[in-house]
Structure 1
């Protein structure tokens, strides 16, 4: 058991170092070809999403999601993220991005009609493709998330490495 925990911890340290490396050493300029887009994130949680660029490379994304755990518990989440986008020169319209964000999850427990609130901090690493002739953008990302908070059952602290989504959005404005 101890070896599994050590391997698990080392993998998280490596991922954290990768995010730090990307944040520090990626200063590639890129030009975004849309201002904002709205759509859905098909993942955990299933969400409606709005993304807007505040500069040519920096975007804010907000999304509201829902997740159910087999009739035992549900949550509604509100999340926000700051993302930095960089062009992949070999394919026009394709970008990679990284960033960070925070959220709140409002839990409902079916087995005793109680609820609680947890909070989260997340990292983002993804790819986004904007179609040239269609007002659609698609992205896929990985969103490792640390949850914290408390409920009537005690403290809640958990890391989830399996979060992320495939997002499809309709482009609302082009510069």
Structure 2
């Protein structure tokens, strides 16, 4: 599944149109949904919990260009290609799902931010990514034919997250930016990936 930026932006505009404008206080607006730009590109839903905690779920598509070297190197890890020569590859579709448990902390401002609140957060979670990758390669065994092969690559592992968000006082809108680190359990155990994202969510 590949989600274009145009589709994601259209979803965000619909959310803004249908969510009533109320003061974005946590006890009144514990839900937050919007768009996430980066890796993955998609829709972010956040549920604020008591004691400055939150749950977040992200559904989207990976940015193909960011993983060019990753999928190229993956070719050498597949036993079915032992001895074959990599020529090229194309990522045809991706699907990404994130689940997170987050801890929020207020950042005191001097002078105070009259238009909203600033918080930083950290948390742990898990990522599941499915990618359809088409490889173009040359067989090692005679007659050394050039072939194409499509594989479904599944990536799963725990994730650590740190980020910041700004919530406006008079409109139900939160802006955020974050970075994360993933340690793969599958498909390449022990592999480490860094990623990041930014976006906006409507509170309701």
Partner residue in 1 for 2:129: 105
| Contact 1:32/1:56 (8 A) holds in 2 | no
Residue-pair matches, total? 137
Q: CA deviation at 1:68?
A: 4.2
| Contact 1:36/1:53 (8 A) holds in 2 | yes
Unaligned runs of 5+ in 2: 1-24, 66-88, 136-148
Aligned with 1:148: secondary structure? coil
Q: CA deviation at 1:56?
A: 4.1
Partner residue in 2 for 1:139: 176
Partner residue in 1 for 2:200: 168
| Contact 2:165/2:175 (8 A) holds in 1 | yes
Q: Aligned-pair RMSD on alpha carbons? A: 1.9
Q: Does 1:57 align with 2:52?
A: yes
Aligned with 1:89: secondary structure? coil
| Contact 1:40/1:47 (8 A) holds in 2 | yes
Aligned with 2:191: secondary structure? strand
2:41 corresponds, among 22, 40, 46, to 46
Q: CA deviation at 1:135?
A: 1.1
| Contact 1:63/1:78 (8 A) holds in 2 | yes
Q: Distance in 1 between matches of 2:59 and 2:153?
A: 17
Unaligned runs of 5+ in 1: 1-30
Q: Distance in 2 between matches of 1:45 and 1:157?
A: 21
Q: Distance in 1 between matches of 2:94 and 2:157?
A: 13
Q: Distance in 1 between matches of 2:163 and 2:51?
A: 17
How far does the alpha carbon of each residue in 1:84-135 deviate from its partner, in whole angstroms, 9 at most, with x for none? 0011121451101010100111121123222031202111111111011111
Kindly indicate whether structure 1 or structure 2 has the higher relative contact order, using CA contacts under 8 Å at least 6 residues apart.
Answer: 2
Please tell me whether Structure 1 or Structure 2 has the larger radius of gyration of its CA atoms.
2
Q: Normalising by structure 1, what TM-score?
A: 0.71
Between Structure 1 and Structure 2, which shows a larger proportion of strand residues?
1
Q: Normalising by structure 2, what TM-score?
A: 0.62
2:90 corresponds, among 72, 75, 78, to 72
Partner residue in 2 for 1:95: 119
Aligned with 1:110: secondary structure? strand
Partner residue in 2 for 1:126: 163
Q: Distance in 1 between matches of 2:159 and 2:130?
A: 17
Q: Distance in 2 between matches of 1:43 and 1:127?
A: 15
Indicate the larger mover: 83-92 or 68-77.
68-77
